Amino acid sequence: MGVDALSSVPDCRITTALIIGLALLAYWNSFSGGFQFDDFKVIVDNPAVASPEAWWQSMPGIRPLLKLSYALNQTWGAVSGDALFGFHVFNLALHIGNALLLHGISRRLLADHPRAAPIALLTALLFAAHPVNSEAVMLISGRSMSLMTLFYLISLLAYLDQRRVLSLAAFAAALAARETAITLPLALMLIEHLRAPTQSLSSNLKRTREHWLLATLAAAMLLMLPWFRHLAAVSLATRPLADNLISQSAAVLYLLKQALWPFTLDADPLLPVFTAWNIFWTLTSLLALGLLGSALWLWRSSGPARWIGFGLLWFLLHLTPTNSLLPRLDLANERHLYLANFGLCLIAAHALILALPDRPHLRGGLAAIVLLALAWTTQARNPVYRNEVTFWQDIANKNPTSNRAFNNLGHALANAGRPEPALAAYDQALRLRPEDFTARLNRAALCRALPAREPGATRLFAD
């Protein structure tokens, strides 16, 4: 039975079961992953999330709802004796919830579309199985994206159902999970224009005024927090705003490529940073401007082209907080694609459902092949997060010129009791960047901990 046939069944339990079943198929091997990367800073070594009591004492602070979820997971883990399993169950539950919410939102946005049911179902299935979402699901701290997205989508769905109070409450929760939810009023404006293209800008602003007011209040409250002001100052000192915007033109194109071809996923990509104009940056900037221009041109069209424009604008809008003006140390992370990916899944669903109009069985078979391929690719990606060694080895393999990848790989290997390959990783890190003081200290500390096998060995390693 193809997507078209299944989506025509009035019982929504079948649709729900399909979405949940595909997500479980894609992530059945996700529950044994360890803490990785940012997890140590924000969870493992963060006393503020050790318990609900510690969380309460640390308030006020940024992302309070996210931190509370960590604290509750830690408490559950202390009782059950398996904290990691609880973290993974919660992250996967968030992902399934988001896929289900996207199905409901898609049905409402496509209300007047003759193929609304199959397109909405396929959009949700593509999102549930898409490998590029795996970082937000598998990386524990990737929850900042999926938890924010859950409340963001609840707010959007409630808005479409004209439940204003619930929409505002969910928007506040999304902001409390991650401040990048501040894009919601713009997303609502985009949706208002999609549903009523002739509606004036002032009318759409009036419809969404409560959400704009809440976003303004949230921004003011964030600026009152000393830690947020510190983070903003660090961000602005990282690189000039104009240089960052040009650098992000390459980062956005990279993320688009990762979403469209999710078979070379990379948790810590080494991307170029703009320093001076050359052929690469000229072409990259022109391509990025062309992408934005094409999205706006398609948005002003009608029929399927308009839906492509909507999907591209949704994609670009939800990358704006992380991939535009404000500098970040890491130019791009795949978890930032999580909410943005909805726009691309919607475009792909349109293309698959509207293709081969006279061959429904062939169309259904093609959709099934695509979904199974995505789920299989996600399954194959999940073991990378099994432990720190597999995580950093994958990054080092994909970024052979990344000093940070080899330094962190050496640290992971040393913690795993594998000193020889750890030393080799540290050596490679120092070959790539001889002035890296952290890698040199890590190498020296490992050598001091090893039994001396040759006279002077420790002194040599510590130099």
Minimal CA–CA distance to 105: which of 55, 150, 147?
150
- What is the chain's Cα-based Rg? 23
Which helix (H) or strand (E) element contains residue 429? helix 419-432
What mean pLDDT is reported for the chain?
A: 92
pLDDT for 11 equals 63
267 within a domain of the structure (yes/no): no
| pLDDT greater than 50 at residue 60 | yes
Separation of alpha carbons 223 and 229, rounded Å? 6
User: How many other C-beta atoms are found inside a 10 Å radius of the C-beta of residue 169?
Assistant: 16
305 within a domain of the structure (yes/no): no
437-449 and 403-415 helices, crossing angle to 10°: 20
Domain identity same for 48 and 123? yes
293 CB contacts (<8 Å, ≥6 apart)? none
306 within a domain of the structure (yes/no): no
pLDDT for 460 equals 34
Domain identity same for 12 and 57? yes
Confidence class for position 77, pLDDT limits 50, 70, 90: confident
Domain identity same for 83 and 44? yes
Which helix (H) or strand (E) element contains residue 75? helix 64-80
Task: Give alpha helix (H) positions in 110-240.
Answer: 116-129, 134-138, 143-160, 164-177, 184-195, 201-207, 209-224, 226-238
Query: Are 123 and 129 spatial neighbours (Cβ–Cβ below 8 Å)?
Result: no
Domain identity same for 28 and 123? yes
Q: For Cα atoms 289, 292, 294, give the angle at the middle one, nearest 5 degrees.
A: 105
Query: Are 315 and 340 spatial neighbours (Cβ–Cβ below 8 Å)?
Result: yes
Domain identity same for 83 and 180? yes
Of 368, 385, 402, which residue constitutes the final position of a domain? Answer: 385
pTM of structure = 0.92
pLDDT in tens, 325-368: 999 889 999 999 999 999 999 999 999 998 877 788 888 899 99
Sign of the Cα torsion 247, 338, 43, 24 reads negative
454 within a domain of the structure (yes/no): yes
Domain identity same for 208 and 119? yes
Domain identity same for 218 and 112? yes
pLDDT in tens, 115-160: 899 999 999 999 999 999 999 999 999 999 999 999 999 999 999 9
Separation of alpha carbons 395 and 127, rounded Å? 24
Separation of alpha carbons 419 and 3, rounded Å? 52
Count: domains in the chain: 2
pLDDT in tens, 253-305: 999 999 999 999 999 999 999 999 999 999 999 999 999 999 999 999 988 99
Of 385, 417, 446, which residue constitutes the final position of a domain? Answer: 385
230 within a domain of the structure (yes/no): yes
pLDDT for 370 equals 96
Domain identity same for 201 and 220? yes
What CATH code is carried by the domain that includes residue 431?
A: 1.25.40.10
Query: Are 49 and 74 spatial neighbours (Cβ–Cβ below 8 Å)?
Result: yes
Token pair for residue 337?
A: 């694609």
pLDDT for 3 equals 58
Separation of alpha carbons 133 and 261, rounded Å? 13
338 within a domain of the structure (yes/no): no
Q: Please report, for residues 96, 142, 159, the alpha-carbon distance to residue 170 in angstroms, rounded to integers and kept in the order given.
A: 18, 20, 10
Domain identity same for 419 and 366? no
pLDDT in tens, 430-458: 999 999 999 999 999 999 988 654 444 33
325 within a domain of the structure (yes/no): no
298 CB contacts (<8 Å, ≥6 apart)? 305, 306, 308, 309, 312
pLDDT in tens, 155-207: 999 999 999 999 999 999 999 999 999 999 999 999 999 999 989 999 999 99
307 within a domain of the structure (yes/no): no
Of 351, 385, 419, which residue constitutes the final position of a domain? Answer: 385
372 CB contacts (<8 Å, ≥6 apart)? none
CA neighbours within 13 Å on the CB side: how many for 337?
A: 30
Domain identity same for 438 and 455? yes
Query: Are 38 and 141 spatial neighbours (Cβ–Cβ below 8 Å)?
Result: yes
Domain identity same for 41 and 15? yes
Residue with tokens 């909405």: 120
Separation of alpha carbons 218 and 222, rounded Å? 6
Q: Please report, for residues 32, 181, 276, the alpha-carbon distance to residue 176 in angstroms, rounded to integers and kept in the order given.
A: 28, 9, 38
Minimal CA–CA distance to 138: which of 80, 82, 94, 75?
94
Domain identity same for 376 and 397? no
Domain of residue 447 covers 388-462
Separation of alpha carbons 293 and 290, rounded Å? 5
| pLDDT greater than 60 at residue 2 | no
Separation of alpha carbons 463 and 447, rounded Å? 11
